[in-house]
């Protein structure tokens, strides 16, 4: 025996599931009659969606002035919300693409779910840059469309980079998600009994038969898209951070922004996945698939990224002091002690302090505590964007222009309303699409790797599944 | 249909075919409906009210032309083309006419820019001594007053609409009875025609009394000079000859001062320092509240307004030891006698005898003015820095007393008729006179006024007054230069001027103002009338006219009057309350002008309201903070008003400004849109014995009231945007304002660049190429001249069609001014800091941060070095504004222009105030200072036509702010011309760039401020 004992990974799927029971567990949700609770949730989400539509309608009718924006503070909640929602989206791509390339099999339980969240979050995010402009009816000028003026947009502008980054991100995420869905859609098609379902799922499963060639094409396509999506995880929030970093406002003009924004995005994205997952697995009885092991792994990522973000906060302070630039020094002191100190310390508490509890294994595995922290983290990350966007603009170079920004009811309603869009989409997803990547998860169950022989005698033995419990492990 | 952009182009360029589907559609058109409703009242048949069939068809045609794109979201405006081109009118090219504006009885010579018969902008008349080409906020805002839709539209008889003919008939019959007791109450007026009519009136009505009433007049100055010099003379300063200026609570630099422009130019020109060899005048100010003059001074002492008199006597007493002629004060001593300032000032004045100017605020007592006159006389200043003018139209009577007597006569019921010529005593008379009650006891009240104001509302006859740009007039400047007022447009509401009004009353005749003024000038131009008259109209003034300076000596009774005055000085021991004219609304006559309401006060930066100013210590004592409402009680009358802490204010004193709280005169004055604004009427606290200050009880009420202040932060935070030094420091180190001297190291990147043979640090982005054939525009702002009056702001607003947005929007922080005036308090001591002013227009950076970040390239650089804003291309991301380190970009958060130009029932009128050369901006676009691109381009085109070069001669193009500035603080021109004024200014050692280390390469730069302190007070 070696000095080091081989510690077996805990099984990724708990319970004594076979392929068929997994198929039932996941696809029955889509096939059985719609539960009443779903309708109740859908009415709630639709109400919020209507609030968003009304708030946007009034905005377009009346003008950007309905928001609390002022002369020094040209960007407020809209941009904060945009960055926040885009950031949330990052977890999905990270889980599905990067963890796929790194062969992290535990991702299979949550990747579908997280990718759906990504797409809907990016949709919510996309609302804001579109509506925050003064003249929404000419927003298409930001696209490089050939026109009679022979005029291109300004390729120097980070906002233009944003347009490309976010639209590419959305497109790739959507494709990636859809490619992954194809085998599972075929599964539902095969199980569906009503004609309409057969036709609809049939169309979207693109004639999938599960042939060897289909699988071969599928695997290649999935791999390529994962490869494409991986740099996007890093690039999108890098470019979003350029909106700030490329400008010359103290507190924005910072080279640390790209990594710091990406870390923050993953941080908030994992928190959001956890928030949604913990609710969904409870309601849909998915505890066997989305296990506490998954939760713990994600909490570790939250701890790591949260600490990175905290480190970035401190580096910002250090660099502001070290640079000797008086405006940089002033803005960081003002953030911590000035008129927005309440927002700054909310951010610090939520983002830096709260994830540190995850050093404790007990807390990492506590469902209630994780749920609580996942929400705290997202509040904190919203405030991070608030602190960056608002404080820098409110207190920049000329003290004469300093002003205090406060949102109006319309800022709040538009933000709250995007949750309506998000949850409407998410509820539709839960209802009509398999929330777990069935084809993928089947491949990582203990049953998929049966070992039906004795390792020493090489004799056949009946299948016997060992499900080591994580509690037995030593860390 | 024409959208806004295209109507602002010269009309000759407009060629557009418009289409409509059917006549039925046209008939349904809202524009057409409104048009018919407005032009033709219901049930009126179209041809009976004087509209010819042809005229009807012509305007119909315009309306039909408007119908094409009624569904567009853009604002629709109407145009009416000339059917025949008038002579000398090239459409799109304005004509300029000399005219004058009366203010506090004095004329200020102006030049009106007239677009197709529509005056749109006023500038100073360079030939006129009272303006010398510059102007004040009130001159600039006069255009808006002309087009104010709230002006009275017709005469009223007992509140019912009447016609001018009705009034003429009434005047003829009513004033046929010459034995009635008539009281004429008039504004100050220097018009010779007017004063001839006044004499005629007094001759015609033997029982008439004529009172000139101004709430803030020069009555005390005249009385003081009578005490000292034996005659009612006007003090007229010449600060050009003054090396030392001592102002006791005299805010000469404020636009409210009757000779603001001339004095501002004189005082600031004594401080134009171009090299370390130059000298500067030295200004001492003793005052209660922080005034613009106080902020400009080299030394400022805070003293309660009620103590100014004692201070004056103490100084006179100290001077009596040093110069002859002040024997009346020798031996006098009071609480200020041992004050350091009294000794220092006495030394300084005595040392600069004959080269010093000593003045005191016009509201201070006649005795104080008498002492000031005696001091100036004793110092030998008379004839050098001050002269005492014999003003022919000044009454021999003391008008303050005469007014009180007239009101008590009215009260007693012995007055049959009161004729008010422009005066508004119901609003602004001293409260103890109870003018309104007295007026009710008068049988017939006839009131001529611009608005149906508080007085006109109580009058039996109200006659709507013509604006000075609508009617002929004449008058004198403060120094006596005779000018005419040339109208620019037919009266919009058929109003009449005060001379036409008086002529109806006195002579019962309806001669036009033109005839009346010509008659007057026929007396002056006894030969060659036609030529001289034409020269008068062309130049705007009668050359070589002025009031005669009296040769003065101390009057016999002076010493005894002073002995009793000095014995009876009684400063307010508790809290005093001081009521002053408002820096932006004056006495309230400008209260309905949105430009002035929204103009930040030069010191407090408050818009739309008046406040109770007090020192930090007094506020603490009262337990109030900014926006807490306090109750101010004087002699049992109290008002509630928001408190505001003014650093540098004297303790135990509260300063209020008058002019607010007007009732019923218009939408702007009372409230704007749906927000409470318009301030508090403070006149109820004034009484005949307490016109300037009174002892008051002040207490917190516990309520708060929102105040819209455009500047929240008042400290420079140790930053270097504003640089100043003393004259001595400048002489020792002329480079004091450079980045290296301020920071101790060179601009980052500059040394490396110089090492590589570059002039400036490298840029990440491509730099704009500046071809040789183009001029390169630049601006230099001399902080040593600026005293913060805000004329540049209003001039820019008028030139560039900047909308008024209302208190609510200002409160949110969305003010639209393209040039703002930052005011910072400097110094360790919060109780008596220095205040500095810094006008901030767009910097027109060569490497403009705004240009890099616009996603649609809506803001770009021109070859002549201007940062341009293309409104049509702007989608409104506001990224440019965020990235502007100077925060000079302004965003149309709402459709401000539409709100501003279409409120009220007659929006066409206010639209006439717009400059047709400048596009009005739609909702959702960014805007900012353009360096007056329309003026620049007109000058470039003219230069190209005349010389073939696109470079206009130096001085051929002036920006609106530059042209208006009464301190000549702004220089603008071509930097490629080494001899241009701006290029010379930029070579001045005091020149520095704001935020130079950002490498924005700003084209607008500043020249550091200098102060000239007296070492004895250091």
* Each residue's pLDDT tens digit, B647-675: 889 999 999 999 888 877 877 777 544 44
Any CB–CB contact under 8 A between B890 and chain A?
A: yes
Supply B343's token pair.
């000794």
At residue A472, does pLDDT exceed 50? no
More confident residue, B2 or A233: A233
Any CB–CB contact under 8 A between A394 and chain B?
A: no
* Each residue's pLDDT tens digit, B784-831: 999 999 999 999 999 999 988 888 888 888 999 999 999 999 887 777
Any CB–CB contact under 8 A between B878 and chain A?
A: yes
Lowest mean pLDDT among A307-316, B261-270, B276-285, B897-906: B897-906
* Each residue's pLDDT tens digit, B200-246: 988 988 888 899 998 998 889 999 998 888 889 999 999 999 999 99
Q: What region, left, alpha or beta, does residue B677 occupy, with left being phi > 0 and alpha being psi -120 to 50 degrees?
A: beta
CB B642 within 8 A of CB B713: no
Supply B673's token pair.
């849109």
At residue B681, does pLDDT exceed 60? yes
At residue B931, does pLDDT exceed 80? yes
* Each residue's pLDDT tens digit, B173-192: 888 888 888 899 999 899 99
What is the pLDDT at residue A192? 86
* Each residue's pLDDT tens digit, B40-55: 333 333 333 344 444 4
Categorize the per-residue pLDDT at A466 as very low, low, confident or very high, splitting at 50, 70 and 90: low
What is the pLDDT at residue A426? 92
Categorize the per-residue pLDDT at A464 as very low, low, confident or very high, splitting at 50, 70 and 90: low
Supply B512's token pair.
């036009």
Across residues B464-482, what is the average pLDDT?
Answer: 91
Supply B660's token pair.
């607010």
What is the pLDDT at residue B239? 92
> Which one of B718, B887, B894 has the shortest CB-CB distance to A72?
B887
Contact B813 A70 (CB under 8 A): yes
Supply A285's token pair.
């009885």
Categorize the per-residue pLDDT at A123 as very low, low, confident or very high, splitting at 50, 70 and 90: very high
Q: Which of residues 701-720 of B touch A (CB under 8 A)?
A: 711-719
CB B119 within 8 A of CB B469: yes
* Euclidean distance between CA atoms B574 and B565, whole angstroms: 21
Chain B: nearest CA to A75, how far in angstroms?
A: 7
Any CB–CB contact under 8 A between A324 and chain B?
A: no
Any CB–CB contact under 8 A between A33 and chain B?
A: no
CA distances, B37 to each of B30, B31, B63 (Å): 10, 10, 13
* Euclidean distance between CA atoms B225 and B263, whole angstroms: 20
What is the pLDDT at residue B332? 84
Chain A: nearest CA to B329, how far in angstroms?
A: 47
Mean pLDDT for all residues in chain A: 88
Categorize the per-residue pLDDT at B761 as very low, low, confident or very high, splitting at 50, 70 and 90: confident
Across residues A107-132, what is the average pLDDT?
Answer: 90
- Give the DSSP per-residue string, B840-876: E-----TT-HHHHH-TT--EEE-TTS-EEE-GGG---
Chain B residues whose beta carbon lies within 8 Å of the beta carbon of residue A142: 855-856, 875
CB A454 within 8 A of CB A461: yes
Q: Residue length, chain B?
A: 1018
Any CB–CB contact under 8 A between A152 and chain B?
A: yes
At residue B83, does pLDDT exceed 80? no
* Euclidean distance between CA atoms B328 and B686, whole angstroms: 31
At residue B904, does pLDDT exceed 90? no
At residue A1, does pLDDT exceed 60? no
Q: Give, to the nearest 10 degrees, the angle between helix A341-348 and helix A367-386.
A: 140
At residue B724, does pLDDT exceed 50? yes
The number of C-beta contacts closer than 8 angstroms across A and B is: 154
| Helical H segments across A94-211, by residue range | 99-101, 111-131, 158-191, 195-204
CB B582 within 8 A of CB B658: yes
Chain B residues whose beta carbon lies within 8 Å of the beta carbon of residue A397: 719, 721, 885-887, 995
Chain A: nearest CA to B870, how far in angstroms?
A: 13
Any CB–CB contact under 8 A between B894 and chain A?
A: yes
Any CB–CB contact under 8 A between B72 and chain A?
A: no
Across residues B755-777, what is the average pLDDT?
Answer: 84
ipTM here: 0.90
Contact A249 B857 (CB under 8 A): no
Return the ∠ at Cα B121 (arms to B119 and B125), rounded to 5°: 105
At residue B837, does pLDDT exceed 90? yes
Which residue on chain B is closest to A64 by alpha carbon?
A: B893
Residue A386's φ and ψ, nearest 5 degrees, are -65, -50
What is the pLDDT at residue B77? 58
CB B669 within 8 A of CB B662: yes
As a whole-number percent, the residues of chain B with pLDDT over 70 amount to 91
Return the ∠ at Cα A70 (arms to A69 and A73), rounded to 5°: 80
C-alpha radius of gyration, chain B, whole number: 29
Across residues B946-954, what is the average pLDDT?
Answer: 88
Mean pLDDT for all residues in chain B: 85
> Which one of A133, A246, A397 has the shortest CB-CB distance to B876?
A133
Contact A64 B876 (CB under 8 A): yes
Chain B residues whose beta carbon lies within 8 Å of the beta carbon of residue A161: none
């Amino acid at each position: 025996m070696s000095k080091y004992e081989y510690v077996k990974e805990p099984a990724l799927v708990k319970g004594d599931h076979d392929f068929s029971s997994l198929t039932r567990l996941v696809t029955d949700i889509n096939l059985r009659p719609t539960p009443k609770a779903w309708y109740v949730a859908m009415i709630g989400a639709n109400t919020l969606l209507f609030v968003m539509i009304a708030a946007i309608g009034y905005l377009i009718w009346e003008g950007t002035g309905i928001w609390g924006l002022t002369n020094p503070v040209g960007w407020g909640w809209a941009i904060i919300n945009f960055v926040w929602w885009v950031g949330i989206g990052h977890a999905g791509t990270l889980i599905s693409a990067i963890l796929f390339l790194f062969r992290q099999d535990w991702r299979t339980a949550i990747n579908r779910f997280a990718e759906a969240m990504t797409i809907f979050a990016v949709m919510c995010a996309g609302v804001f840059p579109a509506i925050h402009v003064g003249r929404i009816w000419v927003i298409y000028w930001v696209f490089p469309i050939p026109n009679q003026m022979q005029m291109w947009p300004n390729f120097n502008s980070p906002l233009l980079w944003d347009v490309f980054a976010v639209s590419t991100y959305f497109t790739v995420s959507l494709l990636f998600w859809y490619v992954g869905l194809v085998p599972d859609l075929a599964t539902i098609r095969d199980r569906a009994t009503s004609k309409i379902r057969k036709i609809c799922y049939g169309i979207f499963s693109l004639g999938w038969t599960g042939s060897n060639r289909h699988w071969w094409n599928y695997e290649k396509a999935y791999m390529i898209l994962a490869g494409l999506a991986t740099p996007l995880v890093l690039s999108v929030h890098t470019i979003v951070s350029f909106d700030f970093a490329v400008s010359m406002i103290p507190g924005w003009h910072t080279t640390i922004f790209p990594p710091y924004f990406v870390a923050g995005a993953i941080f908030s994205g994992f928190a959001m996945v956890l928030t949604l997952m913990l609710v969904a697995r409870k309601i849909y009885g998915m505890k066997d698939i989305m296990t506490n092991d998954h939760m713990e792994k994600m909490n570790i990522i939250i701890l790591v990224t949260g600490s990175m973000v905290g480190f970035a906060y401190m580096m910002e302070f250090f660099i502001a002091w070290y640079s000797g630039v008086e405006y940089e020094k002033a803005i960081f002191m003002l953030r911590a002690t000035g008129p927005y100190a309440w927002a700054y310390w909310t951010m610090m508490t939520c983002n830096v302090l709260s994830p540190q509890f995850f050093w404790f294994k007990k807390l990492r595995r506590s469902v209630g505590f994780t749920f609580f922290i996942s929400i705290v983290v997202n509040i904190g990350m919203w405030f991070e964007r608030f602190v960056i966007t608002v404080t820098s603009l409110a207190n920049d170079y000329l003290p004469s222009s300093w002003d205090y920004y406060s949102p109006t009811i319309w800022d709040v309603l538009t933000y709250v309303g995007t949750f309506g869009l998000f949850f409407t989409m998410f509820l539709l997803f839960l209802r009509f699409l398999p929330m777990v990547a069935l084809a993928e998860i089947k491949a990582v169950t203990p049953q998929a790797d049966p070992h039906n022989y004795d390792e020493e005698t090489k004799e056949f033995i009946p299948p016997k599944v060992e499900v080591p419990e994580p509690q037995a492990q030593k860390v | 249909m024409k959208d806004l952009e295209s109507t602002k182009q010269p009309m000759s360029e407009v060629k557009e075919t418009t289409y409509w589907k059917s006549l039925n559609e046209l008939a349904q058109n809202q524009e057409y409906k409104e048009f018919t409703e407005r032009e033709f009242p219901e049930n009126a048949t179209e041809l009976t009210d004087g509209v010819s069939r042809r005229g009807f068809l012509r305007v119909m045609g315009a309306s039909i032309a408007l119908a094409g794109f009624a569904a567009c979201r853009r604002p629709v405006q109407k145009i009416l083309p000339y059917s025949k081109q008038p002579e000398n009118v090239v459409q799109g090219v304005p004509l300029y006419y000399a005219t004058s504006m009366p203010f506090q009885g004095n004329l200020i010579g102006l030049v009106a820019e007239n677009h197709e018969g529509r005056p749109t902008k006023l500038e100073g008349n360079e030939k006129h001594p009272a303006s010398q080409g510059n102007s004040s906020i009130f001159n600039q805002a006069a255009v808006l007053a002309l087009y104010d839709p709230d002006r009275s539209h017709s005469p009223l008889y007992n509140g019912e609409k009447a016609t001018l003919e009705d009034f003429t008939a009434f005047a003829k019959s009513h004033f046929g009875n010459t034995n009635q007791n008539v009281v004429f109450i008039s504004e100050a007026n220097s018009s010779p025609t007017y004063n001839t009519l006044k004499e005629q009136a007094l001759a015609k009505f033997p029982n008439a009394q004529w009172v000139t009433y101004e709430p803030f007049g020069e009555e005390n100055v005249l009385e003081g000079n009578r005490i000292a010099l034996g005659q009612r003379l006007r003090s007229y300063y010449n600060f050009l000859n003054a090396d030392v200026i001592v102002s006791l609570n005299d805010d000469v630099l404020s636009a409210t001062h009757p000779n603001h422009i001339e004095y501002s130019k004189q005082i600031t020109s004594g401080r134009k320092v171009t090299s370390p060899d130059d000298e500067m005048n030295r200004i001492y100010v003793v005052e209660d509240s922080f005034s613009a003059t106080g902020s400009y001074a080299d030394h400022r002492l805070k003293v309660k307004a009620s103590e100014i008199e004692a201070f004056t006597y103490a100084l006179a007493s100290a001077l009596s030891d040093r110069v002859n002629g002040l024997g009346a004060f020798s031996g006098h001593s009071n609480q200020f006698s041992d004050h350091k300032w009294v000794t220092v000032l006495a030394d300084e004045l005595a040392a600069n005898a004959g080269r010093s100017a000593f003045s005191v605020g016009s509201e201070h007592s006649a005795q104080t003015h008498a002492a000031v006159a005696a001091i100036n006389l004793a110092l030998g200043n008379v004839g050098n820095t001050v002269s005492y003018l014999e003003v022919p139209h000044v009454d021999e009577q003391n008008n303050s007393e005469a007014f009180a007597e007239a009101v008590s006569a009215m009260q007693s019921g012995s007055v049959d008729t009161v004729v008010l010529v422009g005066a508004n005593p119901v609003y602004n008379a001293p409260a103890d006179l109870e003018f309104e009650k007295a007026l009710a006891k008068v049988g017939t009240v006839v009131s001529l006024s611009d608005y149906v104001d508080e007085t006109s509302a109580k009058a039996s006859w109200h006659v709507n007054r013509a604006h000075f740009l609508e009617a002929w007039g004449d008058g004198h400047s403060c120094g006596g230069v005779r000018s005419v007022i040339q109208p620019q447009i037919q009266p919009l509401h058929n109003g009449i001027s005060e001379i036409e009004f008086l002529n109806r009353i006195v002579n019962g005749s309806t001669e036009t103002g033109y005839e009346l003024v010509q008659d007057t000038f026929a007396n002056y131009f006894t030969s060659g009338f036609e030529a001289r008259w034409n020269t008068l109209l062309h130049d705007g003034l009668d050359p070589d006219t002025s009031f005669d300076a009296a040769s003065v000596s101390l009057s016999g009774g002076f010493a005894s009057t002073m002995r009793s005055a000095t014995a009876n000085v009684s400063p307010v021991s508790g809290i005093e309350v001081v009521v002053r004219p408002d820096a932006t609304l004056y006495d309230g006559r400008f209260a309905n002008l949105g430009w002035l309401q929204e103009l930040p006060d030069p010191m407090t930066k408050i818009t739309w309201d008046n406040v109770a100013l007090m020192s930090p210590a007094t506020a603490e004592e009262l337990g109030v903070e900014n926006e807490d409402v306090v109750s101010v009680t004087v002699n049992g009358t109290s008002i509630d008003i928001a408190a505001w802490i003014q650093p540098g204010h004297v303790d135990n004193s509260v300063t209020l400004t008058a002019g607010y709280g007007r009732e019923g005169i218009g939408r702007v004055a009372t409230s704007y849109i749906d927000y409470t604004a318009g301030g508090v009427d403070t006149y109820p606290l004034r009484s005949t014995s307490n016109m300037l200050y009174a002892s008051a009880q002040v207490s917190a009420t516990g309520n708060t009231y929102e105040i819209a202040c455009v500047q929240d932060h008042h400290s420079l935070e140790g930053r270097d945007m504003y640089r100043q030094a003393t004259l001595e420091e400048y002489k020792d180190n002329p480079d004091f304002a450079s980045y290296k001297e301020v920071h101790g190291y060179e601009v980052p990147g500059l040394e490396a660049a110089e090492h590589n043979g570059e002039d400036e640090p490298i840029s990440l982005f491509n730099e704009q190429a500046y071809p040789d054939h183009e001029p390169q525009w630049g601006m230099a702002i001399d902080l040593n001249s600026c005293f913060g009056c805000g004329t540049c702001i209003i001039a820019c607003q008028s030139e560039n069609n900047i909308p008024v947005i209302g208190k609510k929007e200002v409160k949110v922080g969305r003010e639209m001014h393209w040039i703002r005036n930052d005011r910072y308090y400097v110094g360790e001591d919060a109780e008596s800091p220095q205040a500095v002013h810094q006008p901030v227009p767009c910097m027109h950076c060569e490497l403009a941060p705004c240009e890099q970040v616009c996603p649609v390239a809506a803001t770009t650089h021109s070859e002549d070095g201007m940062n341009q804003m293309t409104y049509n291309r702007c989608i409104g991301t506001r990224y440019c504004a965020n990235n502007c380190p100077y925060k000079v970009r302004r965003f149309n958060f709402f459709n401000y222009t539409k709100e501003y130009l279409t409120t009220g029932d007659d929006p066409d009128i206010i639209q006439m105030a717009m400059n047709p050369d400048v596009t009005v901006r739609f909702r959702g676009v960014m805007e900012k200072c353009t360096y007056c691109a329309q003026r620049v381009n007109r000058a470039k085109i003219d230069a190209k036509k005349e010389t073939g070069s696109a470079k206009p001669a130096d001085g051929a193009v002036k920006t609106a702010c530059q042209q208006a500035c009464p301190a000549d603080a702004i220089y603008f021109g071509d930097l490629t011309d080494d001899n241009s004024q701006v290029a010379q200014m930029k070579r001045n050692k005091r020149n520095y760039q704001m935020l130079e280390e950002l490498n924005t390469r700003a084209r607008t730069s500043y020249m550091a401020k200098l102060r000239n302190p007296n070492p004895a007070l250091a």
